Amino acid sequence: MLTANNPFTGEKIAEYESLDAEQVSARIGQASEAFATWRHTSFAERAKVLTAVAAELRKRKSTIAQYMADEMGKPVREGEPEVEKAAWCAEYYAEHAEEYLTSESLPSDASHSYVCYQPLGTLLGILPWNAPLWLAFRYLAPALMAGNTCVMKHDPNVPASAQSIADAFVAAGAPENIMVNLPVETSLVEKAIRDPRIAAVSFTGSAGAGSKVAAVAGSEIKPCVLELGGSDPCIVLADADLEAAADVAVLSRIINAGQSCIAAKRILVEESAMDKFVPMLKSRLQALKMGDPKDEQTQVGPIARRDLQLNLHRQVSETVEAGAKCLLGGELPDSAGYFYPVTLLTEVTAQMTAFREETFGPVMAVTSVSGIEEAIELANDSDYGLGAAIWTADVKQAEQWAQQIDAGQVAINGIVKTDPRLPSGGIKRSGFGRELGPHGIKEFVNAKQIWVK
């Protein structure tokens, strides 16, 4: 049984039947059978389907945003744009997949030698709750346009959001079972991975869960892409546009109540700018409105689950006990729902919990650095390597510094974000492989060499 709880009230919304082992096998079989036909469709035919799905998402975006608000607390002012972004992803790959997968001629001793890109088969996507639409479509859109069929195992917290994706495919007239929803409890995920009809796995979630998925997939010799957690550094140097840096750092940290892998979590500020920059952060954080995610004015909703709320408070408490200063928030609310106040911690050192662990909530940790050398050293002093940001007036030098940061992507004077046009992914405990851009669509294809004499 899958139980959806409302994090705003703490109350149960609904219960949904979970598939049993036989039903899981049958659903995978349906997607596998659909692959036999779908793989032979043209890019134009696939693009027509994905474009129609995007149109259905836009028609339903208000309803889907309400589902996300109910199931995981995302403010509707963020939910509707998320649905739009998912639709854009579908349209982007509909337009560019053929270009990305065009065969490439390579010189050799053959009369003609080239590499062509063919679909692998039926894929399993294991998805998290924090961006139910966007994270689903950055898996679905490139995989389907490459000619694969997709099984979607979404998080048990968001069953209605997951079903809304399946409903959009049906309403769009997509060929039956090219995308199959798999509402199952976590205990059945290993069985799905090991099913011989599953060719590869895409996983987004925590590093702990990702290591288990990778171990199972590896034991079956199946490729996988892992997009895991992050503890992204945001370096702010004294010569930067501090007002702009403060705007973006706060936005990055607070999107989805801070429950984002690529949020700016460790703010590394040059010592000479601390007295100016910290008050800028505080004033912006103080002004944020926390409340009902269905209220259009709400900027910060609740944490998705009680256990996540309590773990976040543990991280804050341990950091303060170790000597950090708490300038905002830091108190566990005695009220219904799973809220956590917007929290600003300063004087955070590299040994403290909020620096060492990923904080998944509206908690900003600020560390003073002597200059760029120490900033880069601390930025890399992490088990994670997802994204990073540098703020400085010296853009050319920043490009050199970006080369020294251990991360899958670096933004200079801007926000770290995911974009269908650009590859996204991490290193170290942030995972491996890439999603999005031309690189993402090639993760789940067979790069087949053809040699002709």
Is 227 one of the annotated active-site residues of the chain?
A: yes
- Which one is catalytic: 56, 91, 227, 435? 227
Residue 224 is a catalytic residue = no
Cβ–Cβ under 8 Å, residues 150 and 140: yes
Can you say whether residue 422 is alpha, beta or left, with left for phi > 0 and alpha for psi between -120 and 50 degrees? beta
- In DSSP terms, which residues pair with 201 in a beta bridge? 124, 224
The 10 Å Cβ neighbour count of residue 323 is 11
Based on its alpha-carbon atoms, the radius of gyration of the chain, rounded to whole angstroms, reads: 22
Q: Are the C-beta atoms of residues 319 and 367 closer than 8 Å to each other?
A: no
Catalytic hit among 261, 270, 358, 435: 261
Q: Which amino acid is at 164?
A: S
> Cβ neighbours of residue 378 under 8 Å, at least 6 residues apart?
233, 266, 268, 350, 367, 369
Contact criterion met (CB below 8 Å) for 410 and 388: yes
**Separation between Cα atoms, residue 184 and residue 73, nearest integer Å:** 22
Residue type for position 41? T
> Amino acid identity, residue 232?
D
Neighbours of 55 (CB within 10 A): 16
Instruction: Report the catalytic residues.
Output: 227, 261
